[in-house]
């Protein structure tokens, strides 16, 4: 049987998803169901003086109205920060209380104040309008840059600072800078983004008073994590009395990794009123209350020799984490950001200092790439500027500083197991026809357009992650993954994974892996995920981890199946175990025609009766059944890398900037399904280019979200793009048996600097993201005026 790993198998899940037969949380309905509508703060910062529900509670169809006082009375715990970061001075990070329904204060527009539960959605909404909240409005803190010098939001958190974190060695960096020929400096902003998953968040909680069990359907990338948090921290129900199901989920991009207030409230309320409670966010709620991404202000410096050798790197960043510290809000701008900020390069000395600040904006958490896009944008715009200032080719300065020996001990944390950055660069220049750029530039000029080219060479640490390492760094959970491979008696298989597919195509990729490992057709394999009552505990999907960590767990569980199968087959074939080989789904005995298929062995394991002369196929002490579980904890992160080259065309009359050519060459290690990987790259690029040219979350000075709908928040669309030219190199990862590295985040990591470097090349002046038409036009005018003044 030909290997399925490496084949372009069409996605098994698409028939269901593309024909409207998916089942999402909003599709789930219970008998006697009620509908929740949240009363949200219209103010960015205010004290709650009084919540008056008297009028609302008399409105038609109202079942219950619950407030912060009720949730406090029931001792339901608040939302948590999942990763403990220590400041440079050794002190712990500072975290404000984050009740699931606000009690004394509200801290961003959209903050959850009360919930109205009614017989119908319309009645819930109408009654929510009647809940009167008496606010004392306070001055909001909005600006990332000025947060430390603004009014103090929380009594116990001076300078609005969560932590002041350092990674690296300031003294060594100073020494390196003292010896530099030239110091390159940049001041950049990593613009704030709103994730905009296609499916809005939703929850539907059902409580059974006789068993005291809550079943919570929710839009989660990680139902097991939701269960443990809602049980252990919020205290809504013990884990054995809480079942969390994340059915089909329409995208997450990080924003659905962890439970939000709404899931906690619906679960608690369902138990309280003994009826199911359903909530589905409308799009405005999604804009206001989904965790946002990015939002950094960075000053960075690179010390170089005149020949382009890098000597040292400094990174001073302010990271806005919004009004509260969300679950992965504190790790995103630290351990996911700092180590990668030195890029792929040999960097003798480096440090990253991050001051995380609270503001009166929605919480900011992991968003596709989480920390690594910010890191890559920093180093790659800096390196390109160094090339310009030193008069070097962008490829030359990079090649000069690439490591060539692997494993490569990267400056700040990681030991990178494998890679070949030069090969990626060469291939990208070849596919992207770098040599033909000048000709294309002339063609653009003949049409009155400006053309620029930009490079980005990135690496990222994903395959998240070795549990002992992350727990040592402050993570509140392990990050291993589980798999259970269950043969059914008739020889087909269900694979349970603790990861979760919400667009990644696990039903296909994981089945390809299991089909190869077990030698059975892919049609005979189902992948099950997303239900805490099915399969073992797992850690879900984010950080490009599912294949590398979860896929490996499947391989390991299959190995155990084969090992048991060998013992059983040996007994059935009346030979010793070491005479049995497993090949293409068959247990064979060398130099004989004796064999048993894995299906026959599975059947025998479930029906261990007499088989010919053999009284029982099970060796003495062997249990019946054929089901194995594996928990895989990786020994290292994985390190995808690559080179992206972008060409843009700018219309100087309007400032409109279009991506004219985009080449991405990535090293994802072994590729299981190129079709799915290419789709992931395309999606990542669109998000990355979206950040560079279009998307921007904008709060006004009073903390109102101006970009709270698609009228004002520019989502990239198909007509904004050109075709992408993709290429791959492969240095297999050594930290997992598949050799995979992960591909989900790469596009979003690499694209912003590639695009922005191209824009800067085209217009000859630095500019911040997103490079909207007006910004580009103004920048061009400014430099035109400067030039005419100089002349």
Query: Which residues lie near another protein (CB under 8 A)?
Result: 122, 126, 284, 653-656, 694, 698, 706-707, 710-715, 720, 772-774, 777-778
CB of residue 765 vs another protein: minimum separation in angstroms?
17
CB of residue 704 vs another protein: minimum separation in angstroms?
12
End-to-end CA distance of the chain: 74
Contact 532, 223 (CB under 8 A): yes
CB of residue 449 vs another protein: minimum separation in angstroms?
14
CB of residue 181 vs another protein: minimum separation in angstroms?
41
Sheet of strand 310-320, all strands in order from the earlier edge strand to the far edge: 161-168, 349-357, 310-320, 296-304, 182-190
Contact 221, 28 (CB under 8 A): no
Pick 75 or 447: Cβ nearer another protein:
447
Pick 13 or 649: Cβ nearer another protein:
649
Pick 194 or 645: Cβ nearer another protein:
194
Contact 180, 235 (CB under 8 A): no
* Phi, psi (deg, nearest 5) at residue 542: 180, 170
The H or E element that residue 349 is part of is: strand 349-357
**Spatial distance between the Cα atoms of 566 and 563, rounded to a whole number of angstroms:** 5
List 499's β-bridge partners, or say none.
none
Strand ranges for 612-654 from DSSP E: 627-632, 641-650
**Spatial distance between the Cα atoms of 226 and 264, rounded to a whole number of angstroms:** 9
Pick 574 or 653: Cβ nearer another protein:
653
Pick 488 or 720: Cβ nearer another protein:
720
**For residues 547, 549, 554 and 559, what is the CA-based torsion angle, rounded to 10 degrees?**
130
CB-CB neighbours of 395 under 10 Å: 19
CB of residue 566 vs another protein: minimum separation in angstroms?
59
CB of residue 374 vs another protein: minimum separation in angstroms?
23
CB of residue 140 vs another protein: minimum separation in angstroms?
18
CB of residue 714 vs another protein: minimum separation in angstroms?
4
**Spatial distance between the Cα atoms of 645 and 434, rounded to a whole number of angstroms:** 9
Is residue 697 reached through a cis peptide bond, with omega within 30 degrees of 0 on the bond before it?
no
Instruction: Say if residue 124 is exposed, middle or buried (CB neighbours under 10 Å; 0-12, 13-18, 19+).
Output: buried
Sheet of strand 627-632, all strands in order from the earlier edge strand to the far edge: 525-528, 493-497, 481-487, 627-632
Pick 369 or 690: Cβ nearer another protein:
690
CB-CB neighbours of 316 under 10 Å: 15
- Strand-pair category, 493-497 with 525-528: parallel
**Spatial distance between the Cα atoms of 596 and 529, rounded to a whole number of angstroms:** 31
Q: Which of 496, 518, 526, 490 has the alpha carbon at shortest distance from 605?
A: 490
Q: Which of 340, 310, 349, 345 has the alpha carbon at shortest distance from 170?
A: 349
Pick 293 or 333: Cβ nearer another protein:
293
CB of residue 497 vs another protein: minimum separation in angstroms?
38
Contact 745, 368 (CB under 8 A): yes
CB of residue 102 vs another protein: minimum separation in angstroms?
22
CB of residue 791 vs another protein: minimum separation in angstroms?
21
Pick 122 or 178: Cβ nearer another protein:
122
Instruction: Say if residue 464 is exposed, middle or buried (CB neighbours under 10 Å; 0-12, 13-18, 19+).
Output: buried
* Phi, psi (deg, nearest 5) at residue 224: -65, -40
- Listed in sequence order, the DSSP H helices in 473-609 are 506-518, 552-573, 598-606
**Spatial distance between the Cα atoms of 228 and 234, rounded to a whole number of angstroms:** 9
Give the single-character DSSP code of 63. E
CB of residue 283 vs another protein: minimum separation in angstroms?
10
Look-up of token digits 């035109």 = 784
Pick 594 or 775: Cβ nearer another protein:
775
The H or E element that residue 46 is part of is: strand 46-52
Pick 720 or 734: Cβ nearer another protein:
720
Pick 29 or 778: Cβ nearer another protein:
778
CB of residue 713 vs another protein: minimum separation in angstroms?
6
The helix/strand/coil state of 647 is strand
CB of residue 712 vs another protein: minimum separation in angstroms?
5
Pick 68 or 655: Cβ nearer another protein:
655
CB of residue 684 vs another protein: minimum separation in angstroms?
20
Pick 35 or 694: Cβ nearer another protein:
694
Pick 136 or 782: Cβ nearer another protein:
782
Pick 283 or 583: Cβ nearer another protein:
283
CB-CB neighbours of 535 under 10 Å: 21
């Amino acid at each position: 049987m030909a290997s399925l790993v490496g084949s372009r198998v069409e996605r098994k899940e698409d028939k269901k998803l593309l024909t409207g037969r998916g089942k999402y949380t909003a599709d789930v309905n219970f008998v006697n169901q009620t509908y929740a509508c949240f009363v949200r703060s219209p103010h960015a910062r205010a004290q709650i003086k009084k919540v008056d529900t008297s009028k609302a509670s008399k409105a038609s169809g109202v079942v219950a109205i619950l407030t912060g006082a009720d949730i406090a009375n029931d001792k339901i715990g608040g939302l948590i920060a999942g990763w403990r970061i220590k400041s440079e001075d050794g002190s712990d990070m500072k975290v404000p209380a984050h009740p699931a329904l606000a009690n004394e204060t509200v801290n961003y527009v959209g903050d959850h104040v009360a919930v109205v539960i009614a017989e119908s959605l319309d009645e819930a909404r109408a009654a929510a309008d009647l809940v009167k909240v008496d606010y004392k409005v306070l001055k909001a803190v909005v600006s990332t840059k000025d947060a430390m010098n603004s009014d103090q939001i929380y009594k116990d958190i001076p300078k609005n600072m969560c932590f002041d974190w350092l990674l690296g060695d300031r003294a060594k960096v100073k020494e390196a800078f003292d010896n530099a020929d030239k110091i390159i400096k940049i001041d950049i902003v990593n613009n704030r983004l709103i994730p905009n998953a296609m499916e809005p968040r939703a929850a539907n909680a059902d409580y059974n008073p006789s068993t005291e069990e809550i079943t919570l359907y929710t839009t989660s990338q990680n139902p097991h994590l939701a269960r443990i948090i809602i049980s252990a921290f919020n205290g809504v129900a013990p884990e054995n009395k809480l079942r969390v199901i994340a059915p089909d989920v329409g995208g997450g991009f990080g924003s659905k990794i962890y439970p939000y207030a709404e899931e906690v409230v619906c679960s608690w309320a369902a138990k309280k009123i003994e009826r199911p409670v359903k909530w589905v966010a409308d799009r405005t709620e999604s804009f206001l209350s989904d965790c946002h991404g990015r939002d950094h202000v960075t000053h960075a410096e690179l010390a170089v020799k005149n020949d382009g050798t890098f000597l040292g790197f400094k990174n001073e960043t302010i990271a806005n984490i919004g009004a509260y510290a969300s679950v992965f809000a504190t790790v995103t701008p630290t351990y996911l950001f700092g180590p990668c900020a030195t890029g792929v390069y040999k960097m003798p000395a480096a440090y990253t200092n991050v001051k995380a600040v609270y503001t009166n904006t929605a919480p900011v958490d992991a968003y596709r790439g989480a920390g690594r896009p910010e890191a890559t944008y920093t180093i790659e715009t800096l390196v390109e500027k160094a090339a310009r200032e030193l008069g070097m080719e962008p490829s030359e300065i990079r090649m000069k500083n690439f490591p060539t020996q692997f494993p490569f001990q990267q400056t700040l944390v990681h030991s990178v197991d494998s890679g070949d950055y030069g090969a990626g660069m060469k291939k990208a220049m070849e596919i992207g026809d770098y040599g033909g750029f000048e000709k294309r530039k002339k063609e653009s000029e003949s049409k009155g357009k400006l053309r620029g080219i930009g490079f980005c060479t990135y690496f990222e640490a994903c395959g998240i992650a070795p549990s002992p390492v992350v727990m040592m760094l402050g993570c509140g959970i392990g990050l291993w993954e589980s798999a259970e491979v269950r043969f059914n008696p008739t020889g087909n298989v269900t694979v349970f994974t603790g990861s979760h597919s919400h667009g990644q195509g696990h039903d296909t990729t994981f089945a390809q892996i299991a089909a190869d490992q077990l030698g059975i057709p892919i049609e005979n394999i189902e992948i099950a995920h997303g239900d805490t009552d099915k399969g073992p505990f797992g850690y879900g999907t984010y950080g490009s981890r599912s294949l590398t960590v979860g896929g490996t767990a499947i391989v390991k569980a299959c190995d155990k199946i084969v090992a048991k199968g060998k013992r059983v087959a040996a007994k059935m074939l009346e030979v010793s175990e070491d005479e049995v080989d497993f090949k293409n789904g068959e247990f064979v005995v060398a130099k004989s025609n004796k064999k048993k298929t894995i299906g026959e062995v599975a059947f025998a394991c479930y029906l261990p009766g007499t088989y010919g002369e053999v009284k029982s196929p099970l060796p003495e002490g062997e249990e019946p059944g054929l089901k194995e579980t594996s928990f895989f904890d990786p020994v290292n992160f994985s390190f995808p890398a690559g080179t992206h080259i972008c060409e843009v065309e700018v219309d100087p009359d309007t400032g409109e900037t279009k991506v004219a050519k985009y080449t991405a060459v990535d090293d994802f290690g072994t590729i299981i399904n190129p079709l799915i990987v290419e789709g992931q790259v395309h999606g990542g690029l669109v998000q990355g280019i979206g950040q560079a040219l279009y998307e921007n979350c904008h709060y006004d000075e009073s903390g109102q979200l101006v970009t709270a709908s698609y009228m004002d928040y520019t989502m990239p669309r198909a007509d904004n793009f050109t075709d992408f030219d993709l290429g791959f190199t492969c240095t297999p990862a050594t930290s997992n048996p598949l050799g995979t590295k992960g591909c989900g985040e790469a596009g979003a990591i690499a694209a912003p600097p590639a695009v922005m470097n191209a824009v800067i090349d085209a217009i000859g002046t630095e500019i911040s993201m997103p490079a909207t038409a007006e910004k580009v036009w103004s920048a061009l005018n400014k430099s035109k005026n400067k030039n005419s003044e100089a002349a």
